[in-house]
Structure 1
C-alpha cells in the first residue's frame, strides 16, 4: 500500500474537486474517470462511455433493483444506467460542485447526496448492487470502504470497483518519483495494489468473480488531458487564471498529468476493474470469461 508523507483527508478531497470543477468539466467533460479504448478509434467521449459500459455489464442490473453509486461525480454514470435499466440509484459525493450538477439533472429514480461514504448512514442490506469508479482511491480507510459496501448490500449483491492501483514490482524510484507524488497531488490518502484490494474485500466477506487489468485500454486518457490542458492554458483565460492563482490549493495536480502518463506506461501504476459478490447466501453469478468483449456504447448522452 502506497501512503504519501502527507495523506489527504475527506475534506481535502472535497476541496480538490470543488476547486478544479471548471477544469475537469472543460478538459474532460461530465465523466470524472478514465476512458476505455477497445479499438483505439473511439473518441474520448465514446471511450468514457465505454468504461461505464464495462461497469454496467458487470453489474447486470435487473428491473426494480436499487444501486449505490459510491462517488457519483456529476451523476453521468447514473444517468446512463437509468436510461437503459429500470433501476433506482443513490449516489454519494463529497463535492458540493458535483452535487449541484448532479441534482440539476433532475433525474427520475436518481438521488444524489453530499455525504462521506465512510459515514454514509445508509440502511443495512438496502441495495442490490454498488459501484465505485475511481473513488476508492480517495478513501482514508480502505478497510471500511469494503466493510461498508458489504453492510449495505443484500446477500449476493454485486460490487464493481474501478481503481488506480500500485503496480506489482514498482521500483523504488517509481514509488518515490511517481506514486508518492501522484497520491499527494491527486488527494489519494493511499494507493493499494491488486493484492491489497483482494485481501480487504475477502476480509469483508466478498468473493472475487472477475478481474481485468485495463491499464493499456485506459492510459490514453492522460495524454489527451495533458494536450487539452496545454491548449486551454493558451486559449481559456478562466482556466489559466485557475492554474496560476496561488490561492488554488489543488493546482499541483497539474504536475501529476505527466507522472500518470509515465506511471501507466512503465507499469508502476495499474488500472483494475473488479467484480465481487457479497459472500453470504450467494446467488450464482456468471463469469465474464472475456470482459473486454463486454458491450460498449458510443452514445454521448448520460455519464
Structure 2
C-alpha cells in the first residue's frame, strides 16, 4: 500500500474537489473518471460512457434495482445508468460543488447526497448493487469501505470497483517520483495493489467473481486531459489564473506523472467484480437475476 507523506482526510478530499471544480469539469469532464476505448475510434464522451456501461454489464443490472454510486462525483454515471438500465440510484459525494451541479441536472430515480461513504447512514441489506468508479482511492479507511458495501448490499448483491492500482513491489524511484506524489497531489490517502484490494474484499466477506486489467484501454485519458489543459491555459484567462495560483499549481504536475506512471507500469487500472453470498449459499453469478438462478 502506497501512503503519501502528508496525512489526508475526507475534509481534504472534499476541499480538493470543491476547489478544482471548474478546472476538473473543463479538463476531465462531467464523469470525472477514465474513458474506456475498445476500437480507439471512440470520442472521449463515448469512452467515458463505455466505462459506465461496462460497470453496469459487470453488475448485471436489472430494471427497478436499488443501486449505490459510491463517490458519484457530479452524478453523471448515476444519471446515465438510471436512464439506460432503469435502476434507482443513490449517490454519495464529499463535494458540495459536485452535489450542487448534480442538483442543477436532476434525473428521476437519482438521489445525490453529500455524505462520507464510511458513515453513509444506509440500512443493512438495502441495495441490490453498488459501484465505486475511482473513488475507493479517496477512502481514508479502505477496509471499512468494503465492509460498509458488504453491510449495505442485500444477499446476492454485487459490487464493481474500478480503481487506480499501484505496481506490486514498485521500485523506490517509482514510489518517490510517481506514486507517492500522485497520492499527495490527488488527495489519495493511499493507493493499493491488486493483492491489497483482493485481501480487503475477501476479509469483508466478498467473493471475487472477476478482475480485468484495462490499463491500455484507459491510459489515453490523460493525454486527452493534457491537451485540454494546455488549450485552456492558452485561451482562457480565468482558467490560467486559477490553474497557476499557488494553491493549484501542483495540479499541473499530476497529469504528466499519471501519463508516465501508466507507461512505466508503476500504476495500472483494474476492474473488480465482487459478490455477496446469497441467503441459500454462494453469491449468484453477475448478469443473472436471482429468479433465473432459482429456476
Same fold at TM > 0.5: yes
1:105 offset after TM fit, Å?
Answer: 1.7
Q: Secondary structure at the match of 1:105?
A: coil
Give the gaps of 5 or more residues in structure 2: 289-295
Note if contact 1:185-1:252 (Cα within 8 Å) is conserved in structure 2.
yes
| TM-score in terms of structure 1 length | 0.92
Aligned to 2:171: 171
Q: Cα 1:188–1:120, aligned 2, differ >3 Å: closer, same or farther?
A: same
Match for 2:274 among 273, 276, 283? 276
Q: Residue by residue, what CA displacement relative to the aligned partner does 1:199-231 show, whole Å, maximum 9, x if unpaired?
A: 000000000001000111100011111111111
Aligned to 1:116: 116
Residues paired across the two proteins, number: 286
Aligned to 1:12: 12
Aligned to 1:264: 262
Query: How far apart in 2 are the matches of 1:271 and 1:169?
Result: 16
Match for 2:252 among 254, 268, 278? 254
Query: How far apart in 2 are the matches of 1:89 and 1:264?
Result: 32
Alpha carbon RMSD of aligned pairs, Å? 1.4
| TM-score in terms of structure 2 length | 0.94
Aligned to 1:84: 84
Q: Residue by residue, what CA displacement relative to the aligned partner does 1:82-118 show, whole Å, maximum 9, x if unpaired?
A: 1112221000000011001111222111100000011
Aligned to 1:238: 238
Note if contact 1:205-1:280 (Cα within 8 Å) is conserved in structure 2.
no
User: Which structure is higher in RCO with an 8 Å CA cutoff and minimum separation 6?
Assistant: 1
Query: How far apart in 1 are the matches of 2:3 and 2:82?
Result: 36
The equivalences for 1:182-197 within 5 A come to: 182-197=182-197
Query: How far apart in 2 are the matches of 1:34 and 1:256?
Result: 15
